[in-house]
Structure 1
Amino acid sequence: MGVPMLYAVLQNFQTDAADSEAIMHHILICIPAYQVLAAQALLSLCPFNTWSSPLKKSNKIRAHWVLHLCAYTMGVIGSVIILSSKKKHFETTHGRLGLCCLTITPLTMLTGLLCLYAYPLRRFCPVKINKLIHVVIGMACFACSSAAVCFGFDKEAFRDWMNERVTNGFIAFTGIVTSILLFNPLITVFRLIYKILNRDCQ
C-alpha cells in the first residue's frame, strides 16, 4: 500500500486526461479504502484473524459492516474526485474495474443487510442462500478492486517511475495477497453450497 501512496505524493502527473492533484487524491483515498479497509472487513470474519478472533460474533459482524461502509465511502469520494477532473471516463480497464467496484459494492451492502435479518426473512429466502449470495458478491467486489489496483500498477507512468520487474512484482504480490484474503470466504462458499445441496437451508 505504501508504494502507490508514495508514488501519488512524489509523482508529478503531467497529463491532459485529469488534474494532477485529483490523481494524487484518488490514489491516496482509494488505495487505503479498497486495500486496507475492505481487506480488514473480510478478515474481521475470519476465525484465524489476530485482531478480530477474540471478539464476540456480534462484534465481528459489526466491525465487518463498519469497515465495509468506511471503505465504500472512501471509494466513492476517491472516484468522484477523479471523475470530476476528467472529461472522458471509463476508457481504461482500470477505470472500468473501478466502476464495477462502485456498482457491486451497494449490492454487497444490500445483501449484507439482508443477512442481518436473514432469520426473519427465511420464508422468502433461505438463510444459507442469502448468505451465499452475499459472500459471492463480496468476493467479486474485492477481486475487482484488486484487479483495478493491478491495472493501475500496469499504467505506463507507474512502470516508468519504478521499473518493469518491480512493477510486475507488485502486480504478482497484489494477486497473491488477494488470493489469500479470498481463501476463507471461498471455503465459506463451498461449505454453504454443500449445506444447501443437502437441503439444510434453515
Structure 2
Amino acid sequence: MEVKQLMMLWQKQSIKEYVMPAGFELRTYREGDAKGWIIACTDGLDTGAWREEDFYSKMLNADGIVHEGIFFIVDGRGEIAGTATGMIKPEPAHGYLHMVSVRPEFRGLGLGRILNTAVLKYLTEYGCTRVTLDTDDHRIPAIKSYLSAGFRPVLHSPDMVERWKSVMKNTGYKEINTFTEDDNTGPVITV
C-alpha cells in the first residue's frame, strides 16, 4: 500500500514578508534556467534524474504553469540557490505550491520562506483564494516554512492525525489547526 503524502492548505489571508539575505535576489524563469532548476531540485528534493527535456515537458509545458510562476533565488554569481513554482489548478480560485527546493549549501537562510511568499503573492494575484501543497513527513524544515506561511494540515486519510503528531514533535509546534478534505475547519491537533 502506497503511503499518501501529507497535504496542506492555505486559505486567503495576509501574506508574511521576509527580508532577502544580502547577496541574493528573487526572479522568475529565464531562458536557460533548466539546468539550474534541475540541480536545485535534484540536490534539494531527491527527485531522481531529471533531464532538460523533462523540465520542458513537465514544468514549462505543464497545464497551469507559466514562466512568471516559476521563481528562483539566485546568488551574486547568478547561481540558482532555490526554486518554487505556483501552479493554477483548473478548479476555481485554486492554486498549488509546487517543487519548492533550496540547495543544501544555501539552507538555513530563510530562502524557502521567501520562495513560499513569492508563490503565494503570485497565486493570489491570479485570484487564488486557496493554495494546496503535498509534502513528505521527513521534510521538517520545509513543513516549518509552510506552517509559518499559514498553511495547515489537511486530514485526508485516517492516519493523518497520528502522522501530524509525529511531525509536530520534530517541529516544535505543540498545537496545529487543521482542515478537513472539504476545506472545513478540522480538529486542533495537540502534542
TM-score (norm 1): 0.26
Higher Cα Rg: structure 1 or 2?
A: 1
TM (normalized to structure 2)?
0.27
